[in-house]
Amino acid sequence: MTEWQVPSSTLLAIAPAVVALFASPSMSRQAARRLGVGTTLTVLALALAVSFAWLLFGGVPACDRFDPGRWLGASPLFVVDGLNVLSLPFAALIFSFVLLVQPGTDAIERSLRRVLFSETVTLAAFLSSDPFVLAVLWSVSAAGAWYQLRSQGDDGRGAARVFASYMLPSCVLLVLGAVMLQIDSGIARGTASLLIALAVMVRKGIAPLHSWLPELFARAPLPVSVLFNAPQIGAWVAIRIIAPRAPLWVLEFISLASLLTAVHGAGMALVQTDARRVFAWLFLSQSALILVGLESQASVAQAGGLSIWISSGLALAGFGMTIAALEARRGPLSLRQFAGGYERKPLLAICFLVLGLASVGFPGTLGFVGQEALVHGVVSDFPHLGFAILVASMLNGIAVLRTYFLLFCGRLERDRISQGLRPREQFAFATLAALLVLGGLFPGPFVRSRSSAAETIRHAAGAEKTISTEPASSGRRWDAPGWTDPPPW
Amino acid sequence: MILSSILTGCGLTVVAAPVLVLVLLGMASLAGRPLSENATGTLMRLALATAFGALMVVVLAEVVSGARAMRADAGTWFSAPGYHFRVSFLFDRLSLPFAALTIGLGGVVAVFAERYLHREPGYNRFFVMLVLFVSGLLITTLACSVELVCAGWELVGLSSALLIAFFHERPAPVRNGLRAFVVYRGCDAGLLAAAVLVHHWCGTGDLVTLLGPGPWPSGNVPLAGGQITVLAASILIAAVGKSAQWPLSGWLPRAMEGPTPSSAIFYGALSVHAGAYLLLRMGPLLDRAPIVAGVVVVIGLGTALHATIVGRVQTDIKCALGYAALTQVGIIFVEIGFGLREIALAHIAGHACMRSLQFLRAPSLLHDFHQQQNALGGHLARTGLHLERWVPVALQRRLYVWALERGGVDALLDRILVRPFLQAFGFCDRLERRWVKYIAGYGAGSHHASEERDG
């Protein structure tokens, strides 16, 4: 492992929290936005610098000499490697983007410190691979979201109860799993994998453990829901802890449940009468697809899952925030009838459609490449059920266009006063949409990096397998690349 | 070597030129500064002229060299372990005429629309969609891999749905656009499934590997009979949806809500023939799947009969033309089913040109009639009465009602497919909300903004 002499990864993890500690709770809304955007953009620049430095130094795992783990005399806590090298700028970008486009109607000055703490927790989680550290960060992040949900008054209290009913067991399961992982026995490791898998399924909203997610999206402020879910800490735990250690049947169980969730979520998105809930179910469906890929045995599917994680995460964050921007202009967004109003906010409508289509992997966007790799890989794992991805993708596309039509078309608004985007919103939405489209036209480097990340998972699995006490037959079939296998039809 | 590079460059330019204009127009719109009408029109003409010129160079090279097919390879677009997405375009006796039609008719419609939509609020939006369609169809037509066909195919569907809903301040075009998109997406799943299966069975999505190295229309598919039948059936599903064949033809008359230039190029000329093109491309599969070929004939025949009867009661010219187009596409399907591929290709080319002209003249129909009547000095003679002469009066009445209801096919599909789907997921949704209400403890008296939103 390379040791950097500058406190890069440590600084990356703690910088937002340090700013949050010194931020005055009584600052004005504009000052809060300026501070938040400035901090998150600086963290984004730092994350990009760390990623480039990692590439320049040969792409081997790296930590810095100021790592808190070293001070405690243990192994490094924050490590940069092939898996998180893109996840760090990805998470930092989501935080910057959300703070940039967060509607002026939201009390940013009140939530800023929590948002910055939440960024620290997310980045620290992405830098860490220790099950205990991840369990603590996971619980802290859930507690933060719960607190914000609860502070929404009567409306949020019930939703906070639902949230807690699911998140509390998931935290307990993760901690228990982390404890059991320390026991050197095959049965204990299998049980630990199952417990952690259940925790991940709750956090990712895999059916039937998903009911908290649509409720959170429907009741909490959208920035809170997006920042809690879009970075996908659940997926991170899945690839860091479950994928290298879990026996085959656990992985297949997660994949199958995720596959069915993807279809269920897509179908549910089509019957919703509220834009937030459509977004929630779309999110759930796409998020399940990520897990299908990550827990697959074909490396092409893993690369696909890792690609969708980034592309869909960014697109969904953008899609969610377009809904937030529209809500700020129009109030609750019912889908019971056509709302119209394209003429008054054409750019918002265009960004809504482009980001929506990008989030479901439409051709010409970055999501398409991940979806393509995923479906080809998963069919080799599940020759018949794998086609469910096509069904989910088909339904998700229809849901996006239906929502677009209902929210922006079908009626002529008499009022001609423009409700267009403000310059900061226009910059953020258009840049994100352009990034996803241009990334879709030139996806080579992105997919290469995801493929090498998939290799990192495989290597980790190989390393775990050599120290595993389980019989070889129950271990993971890592060498099943799919396309070279004889067709199982 | 240099000649080969030039030809490859020309081949790639055919697709790259419209794609570049699409990116330019799209990015300008995203930046909130859409280009002016003049700039948009000029860019469009320039792109299509460049693409057409490059295509003609390839045609010339094939004619001079006597080659029956050429391939322009752009390399690997992206690759993951064990999977490579190659961007490669095939210029053969099938794709060349269709690409020429796409660019030629695209150009005609673009020039027509420059005047027709002058000062229309959606001028820029129309041209973005038009160039998206042309790009998508060129990719579909020239693609040498089944994955690339899928990518282009979906772009065509999206542009079609958005253009049907072009006049988005009215609910009907929007509803119809969504309906068309639902049919497209449902049927696209067939093509996507075929792409996955081809990759799975052949180890690659390359069409030359799948259909054999022989020039079109010959071919040799290296798969077993059952596999070929499954593939052909999947592709047929996609073709039926895109070409509005029976029983999925209900969206075509609804699509006439779009502006006339888009109706001309989509439903008179190119999009409606895309399904037939796909079947022509996959002809060697149909040769080895006689059952599916038989189904193609039956579907084509059914569509032709359905469209000719229903078309007779239409009261607006665009719908009448739409059904007339559908009748011909049905006959083209029959030709394809019988293996008459060259005839089908000629039929597509002739029909596309003639029907686009009719669609583009449709807004001036009354003016044209007046001119003709003035020239003749009386009313025009009624035509198309042969069915009325042959069909018994009792049957005529039944057929009339049947035609007015468009065969009741849409209502039937709604009843057996759409409604059960919505009911099933609606039931799940109600269950979900009840469960959440139970955990959250939302009382009967609590009334919040978000609950009002939830309904």
Is residue A290 within 8 A of residue A360, CB to CB? The reply is no
Instruction: Report the alpha-carbon distance of residue B439 to residue B290 in Å, rounded.
Output: 57
Q: Which pLDDT band holds residue A462 (cuts at 50, 70, 90)?
A: low
Interface contact flag, B185 A398, Cβ < 8 Å: yes
Which chain B residues are within 8 Å of A310, Cβ to Cβ?
none
Interface contact flag, B168 A410, Cβ < 8 Å: yes
Interface contact flag, B440 A215, Cβ < 8 Å: yes
- Which ranges of A331-422 does DSSP label H, i.e. alpha helix? 346-359, 366-381, 388-408
Q: Which pLDDT band holds residue B452 (cuts at 50, 70, 90)?
A: very low
Is A57 in a helix, a strand, or coil?
coil
pTM recorded for the entire structure: 0.92
Mean pLDDT of B214-221: 83
CA closest to A454 among chain B residues: B81
pLDDT > 90? residue A288: yes
Mean pLDDT of A427-435: 93
Strand partners, A63: A3
pLDDT at B454: 47
Interface contact flag, B454 A393, Cβ < 8 Å: no
Mean pLDDT of B124-130: 94
Kindly give, in sequence order, each residue whose CB lies less than 8 Å from that of residue B416, ignoring residues fewer than 6 positions away.
Answer: none
Instruction: Report the alpha-carbon distance of residue B41 to residue B45 in Å, rounded.
Output: 6
Interface contact flag, B174 A405, Cβ < 8 Å: yes
Give exposure, A344-362, as e/b (b: 16+ Cβ within 10 Å): bbbbbbbbbbbbbbbbbbb
Between residues B387 and A49, which one has the greater pLDDT? Answer: A49
Between residues B61 and B215, which one has the greater pLDDT? Answer: B61
| Least confident piece of the model among A319-328, B46-55, B261-270 | B261-270
Neighbours of B380 (CB within 10 A): 9
Which chain B residues are within 8 Å of A272, Cβ to Cβ?
429
Which chain B residues are within 8 Å of A298, Cβ to Cβ?
82
Report the gap between the CA of A449 and the closest CA in chain B (Å). 10
pLDDT > 60? residue B137: yes
Task: Find out whether the peptide bond into A208 is cis, omega within 30 degrees of 0.
Answer: yes
Mean pLDDT of A349-355: 94
Report the gap between the CA of B115 and the closest CA in chain A (Å). 22
- The closest of B69, B15, B77, B16 to B205, measured between CA atoms, is B77
Which chain A residues are within 8 Å of B169, Cβ to Cβ?
340, 342-343, 409-412
Taking only the tens place, the pLDDT of each residue in A402-422 is 999 999 998 887 776 777 888
Give exposure, B150-184, as e/b (b: 16+ Cβ within 10 Å): bbbbbbbbbbbbbbbbbbbbbbebbbbbbbbbbbb
Helix (H) or strand (E) holding B86: strand B83-92
What mean pLDDT is reported for chain B? Answer: 90
Interface contact flag, A300 B32, Cβ < 8 Å: no
pLDDT at A461: 66
pLDDT at A453: 86
A365-to-A2, A14, A435, B84, B153 alpha-carbon distances in Å: 36, 33, 9, 18, 15
Mean pLDDT of A187-192: 86
Report the gap between the CA of A99 and the closest CA in chain B (Å). 20
Neighbours of A466 (CB within 10 A): 6
pLDDT > 90? residue A343: no
pLDDT > 70? residue B289: yes
Instruction: Report the alpha-carbon distance of residue B183 to residue B176 in Å, rounded.
Output: 11
Which chain B residues are within 8 Å of A334, Cβ to Cβ?
453, 455
Taking only the tens place, the pLDDT of each residue in B330-354 is 999 999 999 999 999 999 999 999 9
DSSP class of residue B34 equals P
Of B152, B196, B426, the CB nearest to A375: B196
Kindly give, in sequence order, each residue whose CB lies less than 8 Å from that of residue A438, ignoring residues fewer than 6 positions away.
Answer: none
pLDDT at A157: 86
* 3-state DSSP percent of chain A in helix, strand and coil, to 5: 75, 0, 25
B217 token code pair: 């229309």
Q: Which pLDDT band holds residue A210 (cuts at 50, 70, 90)?
A: very high
Instruction: Report the alpha-carbon distance of residue B26 to residue B131 in Å, rounded.
Output: 10
Report the gap between the CA of B210 and the closest CA in chain A (Å). 16
Interface contact flag, A159 B429, Cβ < 8 Å: no
- The closest of B21, B40, B23, B52 to B114, measured between CA atoms, is B40
pLDDT > 60? residue A466: no
Mean pLDDT of B219-223: 86
Is residue A76 within 8 A of residue A67, CB to CB? The reply is yes
Which chain A residues are within 8 Å of B168, Cβ to Cβ?
340, 342, 405, 408-410
B108 token code pair: 């005609």
- The closest of A286, A260, A281 to A269, measured between CA atoms, is A281
Q: Which pLDDT band holds residue A3 (cuts at 50, 70, 90)?
A: confident
**What share of chain A has pLDDT > 90, as a percent?**
57
Report the gap between the CA of A49 and the closest CA in chain B (Å). 25
Strand partners, B79: B84
Mean pLDDT of A168-195: 89
Which chain A residues are within 8 Å of B435, Cβ to Cβ?
211
Q: Which pLDDT band holds residue B385 (cuts at 50, 70, 90)?
A: confident
pLDDT > 60? residue A313: yes
pLDDT > 60? residue B190: yes
Instruction: Report the alpha-carbon distance of residue B374 to residue A25 in Å, rounded.
Output: 83
Which chain B residues are within 8 Å of A450, Cβ to Cβ?
80
| Least confident piece of the model among A365-379, A474-488, B151-165, B322-336 | A474-488
pLDDT at A485: 32
Q: What is the DSSP string of A229-244?
A: HTT-HHHHHIIIIIHH
DSSP class of residue A472 equals G
pLDDT > 60? residue B450: no
CA count, 13 A, side-chain hemisphere, A176: 18
- Which ranges of B117-254 does DSSP label H, i.e. alpha helix? 123-142, 146-164, 171-202, 207-211, 225-242, 251-254
Is residue A229 within 8 A of residue A317, CB to CB? The reply is no
Which chain A residues are within 8 Å of B178, Cβ to Cβ?
398, 401-402, 405
Helix (H) or strand (E) holding A63: strand A62-64
Report the gap between the CA of A478 and the closest CA in chain B (Å). 13
Length of chain A, in residues: 489
Mean pLDDT of B147-169: 93
pLDDT at A104: 79
- The closest of A368, A372, A347, A345 to A357, measured between CA atoms, is A368
pLDDT at B443: 63
Sign of CA dihedral A260, A266, A271, A274: positive
pLDDT at B275: 95
Strand partners, B73: B88
CA closest to B186 among chain A residues: A394
Instruction: Report the alpha-carbon distance of residue B312 to residue B396 in Å, rounded.
Output: 12
Of A338, A373, A390, the CB nearest to B171: A338
Interface contact flag, B421 A267, Cβ < 8 Å: yes
Residue in B83, B85, B185, B198 to test binding to A, most A beta-carbons within 10 Å: B83
Q: Which pLDDT band holds residue A467 (cuts at 50, 70, 90)?
A: very low
| Least confident piece of the model among B46-50, B342-346, B402-406, B443-447 | B443-447
Helices and strands (H, E) in chain B, number of each type: 21, 2
CA closest to B447 among chain A residues: A155
pLDDT > 60? residue A468: no
CA closest to A351 among chain B residues: B30
Between residues A4 and B305, which one has the greater pLDDT? Answer: B305
A90-to-A115, A307, A367 alpha-carbon distances in Å: 16, 11, 14
Report the gap between the CA of B400 and the closest CA in chain A (Å). 32
Kindly give, in sequence order, each residue whose CB lies less than 8 Å from that of residue B362, ignoring residues fewer than 6 positions away.
Answer: B260, B263, B317, B318, B321
DSSP class of residue B264 equals I
Report the gap between the CA of B451 and the closest CA in chain A (Å). 9
A25 token code pair: 């709770």
- The closest of A121, A12, A19 to A62, measured between CA atoms, is A12
Interface contact flag, A264 B186, Cβ < 8 Å: no
A321 token code pair: 């925030």
What mean pLDDT is reported for chain A? Answer: 87
Q: Which pLDDT band holds residue B3 (cuts at 50, 70, 90)?
A: confident
Neighbours of B383 (CB within 10 A): 6
Interface contact flag, A434 B154, Cβ < 8 Å: no
Distance in angstroms between the alpha carbons of the first and the last residue of chain B: 68
Interface contact flag, B158 A357, Cβ < 8 Å: yes
What amino acid occupies position B443?
A: G
A175 token code pair: 């901690």
pLDDT > 70? residue A469: no
Report the gap between the CA of B255 and the closest CA in chain A (Å). 15
Neighbours of A104 (CB within 10 A): 13
CA closest to B442 among chain A residues: A158
Of B169, B421, B439, the CB nearest to A162: B439
Interface contact flag, A350 B29, Cβ < 8 Å: yes
Q: Which pLDDT band holds residue A23 (cuts at 50, 70, 90)?
A: confident
Neighbours of B452 (CB within 10 A): 11
Radius of gyration of chain B (CA): 24
Mean pLDDT of B32-37: 89
pLDDT > 80? residue A473: no
- The closest of B99, B128, B195 to A364, measured between CA atoms, is B128
Instruction: Report the alpha-carbon distance of residue B141 to residue B154 in Å, rounded.
Output: 13
CA closest to B164 among chain A residues: A405
Domain spans of chain B, in order of start? 2-363, 408-443
Taking only the tens place, the pLDDT of each residue in A66-122 is 888 877 777 888 999 888 899 999 999 999 999 999 987 777 888 899 999 999 999
Instruction: Report the alpha-carbon distance of residue A265 to residue A138 in Å, rounded.
Output: 24
Instruction: Report the alpha-carbon distance of residue A296 to residue A301 in Å, rounded.
Output: 6
Mean pLDDT of A229-234: 93
Residue with tokens 């949704």: B429
pLDDT > 90? residue A182: no
Which chain A residues are within 8 Å of B81, Cβ to Cβ?
299-300, 303, 451, 454-455, 481
Of A165, A271, A433, the CB nearest to B426: A271
Report the gap between the CA of A20 and the closest CA in chain B (Å). 31
Which chain B residues are within 8 Å of A377, Cβ to Cβ?
80, 83
Of B182, B424, B448, the CB nearest to A398: B182
A169-to-A140, A173, B430 alpha-carbon distances in Å: 14, 6, 25
What amino acid occupies position A178?
A: A
- The closest of B35, B155, B44, B14 to B107, measured between CA atoms, is B44
Interface contact flag, B161 A401, Cβ < 8 Å: yes
Interface contact flag, B201 A487, Cβ < 8 Å: yes
Mean pLDDT of B405-413: 90
Interface contact flag, B80 A343, Cβ < 8 Å: no
pLDDT at B121: 87
* 3-state DSSP percent of chain B in helix, strand and coil, to 5: 75, 5, 20
Which chain B residues are within 8 Å of A299, Cβ to Cβ?
80-82
pLDDT at B163: 93
